[in-house]
Chain A
């Protein structure tokens, strides 16, 4: 096999087109920005003949042109992607080959978007997301990585090589390098994004890194929310001494420089003392507490329903909880082996704990603020007059009404958690050193950054696009939830 170029034969005519369209788009956007500083903002303009113009003058013209140029740009990029999928392997270069590997992701994305847009009026807040361009772009970026992680991690459809396998002749080689004797050994014929310093495939490591991030970040954020909500709602609702103490503790953790905290929690010596395991035992109990109070406050008037529901839900959760924190070989061994459903590698558990620990106080502050505001509402007073218990009011009256800002913050916080995970990887803390997660890969690649830039850029851009997607998604959700 030959060395692949970036765009292959497709690029010979498409590259100049892309260049021209991009240049036109850039110039138009700049013109628009400069014009909008000076030109008067015309929203509706009446012409001399009595007709109305929606957006007149040079600014309106430029705006229309920018719209056309943007569609042109999107069209050209789509040609690259579709061309890559349809043309035979190698004809569309590296971009085309990558696009071909992502085929299941493209299919899943198209299906998701078509179904969602078709039924958006029946899908509540999720459906409204498809009314906002920003929200759709963000959702698209996020789902791209979710599908990549899903297809790559569960079905191994996307990665081209084993992300730990080394082919020593490909050490630090540039993107598109052919793998020697690939056909005989049954390997994929190219290292699409080149090899890293240990001669592993950059593309496969990026894809496998997505699976790690997508598994940890949302789950850790969810746990942080459970902790924050379980402590924040009562703090805001009751106020007084409880609020003072909890707020003081939250501010205490927030005043800690995050990296110092990571170094203090994640070093092997501290892990040996068992402190992270105890913290895990403490932090992960909050979901059980939350659901116990939630269900009990709802069903305590119907004892016949309450007992079975509580028994099933809490029994399952307790088993999951005990399996999660119980680790053979650490200080916390609570379950016998036959009952221990799964074991999380202890490095991952420590990372998980420290990320939850850093995020929970901020969530607490947000929830507390919301509860402080909502407790003065009429429906709370009505529930109090009906004689509802305080926990019912907190969890079934106040919490559902705080969901808008909480969902938005949840999206933002997954992004922030992703950044934190990257930070941990960047300092080589917690995650195993060979791990393909994006932060560790950036950390490994930066040592030779002056000479080889290609091992670092894929994980950097992957992390950037995922976090950007989450931020845009949160922005879109905020905009749409404010509309009603």
Chain B
């Protein structure tokens, strides 16, 4: 068990390194840096000045060196610029480059500065992540129980009318991407054209104060897309358990159907959905980006959009580190959880 976790951890770190390097490489390509130089210094800068500007700030080093510096395993550059000013990667604003610390990368907790928000990436990412955390938590609280109930009810009597109706419902929800269901929800529940006006069409106010009115639609929109998928997996797992030998034995012994479902089948049927729920996080991340855009909720997802569309390299890197970490960590958790939940593996 310990070896298994260690191997998975090693794999996870390797994957994280590869992924962050890809993002780093793509965001540090020539045209992106030129755009950065022009937006930071002056838009009408001639090409040779762009090159010296980038040279002086260490942007034209080898990409592996830059990646190492950003990661914090290589010492940050100290460059005597062509304009006579010495610059160091790790120098604080106003600090003499000679006094700066040698290493400053994400491993040292120095995530750089966002060029759009003009503040520390780490603080932006953590506040945004906090906001998205509430959204994710509410989505999980709605999605998981609903999906499990639908899946178990559909799977306990395979082929029944209940099964067919619930399966159709789950197919419909998996066919509705967030930007479609969100738009329909807003149109139906918030506009004067329909006239219901039950909820708010924007979740902007939920950033300070979450209420039923401003948070229901975003949560429902994300949850809906996931419900169908989890429910279908739960249904498959439940039908498999319901046809197994020990359930038949219980029925032959005369145990009531209700007792069989609750006491015998449920626990075994919920092992597989656990993995699926954990692996839903990458998809949730996707949904979060769309929904935060649609409902103007300034969370992690909308930070991603703002960083990506404004060429904010440091912020984009910070965001991708966090999202890659979330994805890989939930994968690890689902592997370990599966081993713990499944007695056949746990005991052997």
Contact = CB atoms under 8 A, between A and B. Distances in A.
Nearest to A438: B180
A263 B309 contact: yes
Interface string B296-331: 000000001100110100001001100110011001
Given A267-B308, A457-B184, A255 B331 contact: yes
Interface residues of A, number: 55
25 contacts: A33-B162, A36-B160, A36-B161, A37-B162, A255-B282, A256-B19, A257-B289, A257-B304, A257-B320, A257-B323, A258-B286, A260-B319, A264-B27, A269-B29, A426-B179, A442-B183, A446-B294, A450-B186, A450-B190, A450-B191, A456-B187, A460-B180, A470-B175, A471-B171, A471-B175
A374 to B, nearest CB: 21
A456 B183 contact: yes
Interface in B69-125: none
Interface stretch (A109-117, A377-385, A415-423): A415-423
Contacts, number: 146
B193 interface: yes
Interface string A32-45: 11001100010000
B183 A449 contact: yes
A471 B319 CA distance: 33
B31 A29 contact: no
A272 interface: yes
Interface string B34-67: 0100000000000000000000000000000000
A41 B160 contact: yes
B4 to A, nearest CB: 17
Nearest to B301: A259
Contact of B23 (A260, A426, A463): A260
Contacts of A264: 23, 26-27, 308
A178 B295 CA distance: 34
A252 B161 contact: no
B176 interface: yes
Nearest to B304: A260
A150 B161 CA distance: 37
A260 B308 contact: yes
* Residue among B175, B286, B305, B316 facing the most chain A CB atoms (10 A cut-off): B175
Nearest to A263: B308
B187, B191, B286, B320 interface centre (most CB from chain A within 10 Å) = B187
B290 interface: yes
A467 B225 CA distance: 13
A273 interface: yes
Contacts of B22: 256
Interface string A432-462: 0000000100100110011111101100110
A9 to B, nearest CB: 24
Contacts of B290: 259, 423, 426
A260 B320 contact: yes
B187 A457 contact: yes
B187 to A, nearest CB: 4
B32 A269 contact: yes
A258 B175 CA distance: 18
Nearest to B27: A264
Nearest to B191: A453
B195 to A, nearest CB: 11
A467 B19 contact: no
A251 B15 contact: yes
Given A269-B31, A446-B294, A255 B328 contact: yes
> Which 6 pairs of residues, A with B, have the shortest CB-CB distance?
A263-B308, A269-B31, A468-B175, A453-B187, A467-B175, A419-B177
B162 A259 contact: no
Nearest to A452: B193
A32 B162 CA distance: 8
Nearest to A454: B193
Nearest to B328: A255
Given A63-B161, A422-B180, A259 B304 contact: yes
Contacts of B179: 422-423, 426, 439, 442, 460
A84 B311 CA distance: 52
B335 to A, nearest CB: 12
B285 A257 contact: yes
B191 A32 contact: no
Given A264-B26, A269-B31, A270-B29, A427 B305 contact: yes
A268 to B, nearest CB: 8
Given A33-B162, A251-B15, A256-B19, 16 more contacts: A29-B165, A252-B15, A252-B19, A254-B282, A255-B15, A255-B328, A258-B286, A260-B320, A263-B305, A264-B23, A265-B26, A270-B31, A442-B179, A442-B183, A451-B191, A468-B171
A415 B225 CA distance: 14
Contacts of A272: 31
Contacts of B27: 264
Contacts of A464: 175-176, 180
A475 interface: yes
A472 interface: yes
Interface in A32-66: 32-33, 36-37, 41, 63
Contact of B194 (A258, A273, A453): A453
B191 A449 contact: yes
Contacts of A260: 23, 304, 308, 316, 319-320, 323
Nearest to A265: B26
A187 B289 CA distance: 41
A461 B18 CA distance: 40
Contacts of A422: 177, 179-180
A446 B29 contact: no
B157 interface: yes
A119 B27 CA distance: 56
B30 interface: yes
Contacts of B177: 419, 422-423, 463, 467
A412 to B, nearest CB: 9
A7 B26 CA distance: 54
Interface string B168-181: 10011011110110
Contacts of A461: 184
Contact of B157 (A41, A134, A255, A467): A41
Contacts of B324: 255-257
A471 B173 CA distance: 11
Contacts of B23: 260, 264
Contacts of A251: 15
Contacts of A472: 171
Contacts of B226: none
Contacts of B180: 422, 442, 460, 463-464
Contact of B35 (A255, A269, A470): A269
Among B27, B30, B183, B331, residue most surrounded by chain A Cβ atoms (within 10 Å): B183
B22, B201, B289: residue with the most chain A Cβ atoms closer than 10 Å: B289
